[in-house]
Chains A and B, each alone.
Chain A
Amino acid sequence: MTVRVRQVHLLNVERCQPEPAELWDAVTEQQLTDWENEWVPELLKAIERLEREGIESRHWPQSSHWNWRKKVEALRGMLASPGFSIVCDGLTQGMMIVDTVKKRCRIDNQKGKPLVYVEFVENAPWNRRELCDSPRYRGVGSILMRAAIELSVESEFGGRIGLHSLSQAHDFYAYLWHDGPWRRF
């Protein structure tokens, strides 16, 4: 399997400086190993902390039950379901799986036209403000959204993308267009 790697930059929050990162057009065994060995333990620690602090479970990460290995294995070899990942500092910082076939636009003036549908997208636990006081990197979600848009353009879908959002991510998607989270990264 050939993986196309493009250089991007994330914001290193602690140093307040850009840091070179890689955008891969795949979710590989390396990402799944990082998910199992790094993401899951970190997520469990964060949930334990939220529980200790008396935070109601409805405020816990809604993606915590996602099993990336199962998702990727179920879609392996399906050309219509490509994956993307971001690697920085030797670790996977974000992953995304999209679909290029199943969904169509719903918005009135584009109704029925093809689009890239974002099936799953997740940031590493250490980059999520709701899980840690000092996130390591910013920019992961925005770069993955841009990758979906770029795929939509390459697929001649005009840049159209769509997704269902977990409620904890509403603000991110609602303001993506309005120079909100995009402002800095």
Chain B
Amino acid sequence: MTDLGADSDYQGLRYFEMMPEQTRALVEKGKERERERRDEDGNQQGVVHPYGAA
């Protein structure tokens, strides 16, 4: 995520944002990982993809 620094309006907590190009890559990577885990788990029947159809 992109660190936009400390937010003085929010107790000085750092604020992060993730942009569309970052999230697309992340979701794709996540889908790939999930497929690996599903295959590893060997439990493919009736599994609904966690984020809908690819």
Chain A contact residues, CB within 8 Å of chain B: 6-9, 11, 17-20, 23, 105-107, 109-110, 115, 142-143, 145-147, 149-150, 152-153, 158-167, 170, 173-174, 176-177, 179, 182, 185
Q: Are B17 and A142 in contact (CB under 8 A)?
A: no
Q: How far is the CA of A11 from the CA of B38 in the complex (A)?
A: 11
Task: Tell me the interface secondary structure of chain A in the complex.
Answer: mixed
Q: Chain B residues near A177: list those with CB within 8 A.
A: 1-2, 18, 22, 25-26
Task: Tell me the interface secondary structure of chain B in the complex.
Answer: mixed
B22 CB → nearest A CB, Å: 5
Which 3 residue pairs spanning A and B have beta carbons closest together? A159-B23, A18-B37, A9-B37
Q: How far is the CA of A177 from the CA of B40 in the complex (A)?
A: 24
Q: Are B51 and A164 in contact (CB under 8 A)?
A: no
Apart from A18-B37, A174-B16, what are 8 other A-B pairs with CB-CB below 8 Å? A152-B23, A160-B17, A163-B16, A164-B13, A165-B13, A177-B18, A177-B26, A182-B33
